[in-house]
Amino acid sequence: MRCEYGDGFKVDYSGSLRITKGDDVDLYVKESFIPANVKSGLEAAALHNSCGELRQAAQEATDTIQGAWKHE
């Protein structure tokens, strides 16, 4: 599932997750590295074909990644 938003963000989820915004953001997370709770949100968004849910799930993924950096 791929969604583009008015603020320039693009989220593409097909098992793996890619988030882009112009030349400033390019994040790719392989499916095996996505935590189960985040993956379930991404799967639900794809099942519902909801770009709003997909963006929220993508935000959860980035929050999780950001949290992992803080704990090192």
Among 51, 54, 50, 17, CA closest to 34:
17
For 41-62, what is each residue's pLDDT tens digit? 999 999 999 999 999 999 998 8
15-45 pLDDT, tens digit per residue, is 999 999 988 889 999 999 898 989 999 999 9
What CA–CA distance (Å, rounded) separates 70 from 72? Answer: 6
Rg, the chain, Cα only: 12
